[in-house]
Each structure stands twice: as C-alpha cells, then as structure tokens.
Amino acid sequence: MTAKTSTMARRNATTGLLAVLGAAVTGATWVGGEHGLAIAMAGLYLLSCAVSYLWSRGSGDVAAIIRLSGDERQRLIDIRATAAAGLATIAFCLGGAMVNLASGGTGSPWTLICAVAGLSYVVAVGVFRRRV
C-alpha cells in the first residue's frame, strides 16, 4: 500500500467512524421520539463528516490528527488536547455531583461518571506504568 493509499484509507476510516457514531446517536434520538431533533442531528453529522473529510486532506496539524497520522509533535498535541478535554469533563461532572449532593440528591448520574473517571484513571496509571 502506498503512502497516498494509506492516507486515503485513514481519511475514509475517520469519516466512516464519525458517520457510524452519528447514525447511532441520531437513531437513538429518533427512537426516543425526538424526530425533529434527530433530523437536525443527522444534518449536523453529515456536515461534520464532510468537513472532517475535506479538512483531513490538508497538511496541517489538525489534518494529520484527524487522519490518524502525523509526527510525534502532532500526536503529542492530540494527547494533550484529549487530556485537557478529559480534565474539563471531569471537573464539570464533579461540579454536577457537588450541586446534586448539596441539593439533597444521592446517587446522581454525575456520581457514576466521576466514579468511572476515577477508576479508569487508576487502571490507566497501572497499565502505563508497566509499559514505560
């Protein structure tokens, strides 16, 4: 497989994964009875797939990350961005759990998400510690 064919396969795989996940979310929304929202989401995901496909053919950092290639610096940018997004999500969930507890709630979905984040962090530290 040539480098051009490999890049094209990664572009197609990235766009395909976005399309499949978008279809799953849209389908779940439709089944849930929110037909108008499902149609809007389908349009948004189609637009996202088109943008992702077109953007991934470029030669910049974002294009390299989208098509799952790139050099070490670009992969490090992706890892740091993923970590920052994860930390922001965990902080948001911790805030939600605190508000829920302060208002007399117990066992909210926020608490479950925080538990999953904490457990996955402990497991990841153990796994990565053995690899390095």
pLDDT in tens, the chain (132 residues): 566 666 677 777 778 888 998 999 999 999 999 999 999 999 999 998 888 888 777 666 666 666 666 678 877 888 898 899 999 999 999 999 999 889 888 778 888 899 999 999 999 999 988 886
- Which residue from 38, 36, 16 is spatially nearest to 25, judged by alpha carbons? 38
**Residue 69 in 3-state DSSP?**
coil
Q: By residue range, what is the domain housing residue 128?
A: 71-132
Domain end residue (candidates: 70, 85, 106): 70
Say how many domains are in the chain: 2
Inter-CA distances, 39 with 19, 35, 43, Å: 14, 6, 6
Residues 14 and 58 both lie in one domain: yes
pLDDT in the model for residue 61:
65
pLDDT in the model for residue 60:
63
Domain end residue (candidates: 52, 70, 88): 70
Residues 10 and 38 both lie in one domain: yes
Q: What is the DSSP letter of 56?
A: T
Domain end residue (candidates: 27, 51, 70): 70
pTM, 2 dp: 0.61
Contact 47, 26 (CB under 8 A): no
pLDDT in the model for residue 40:
95
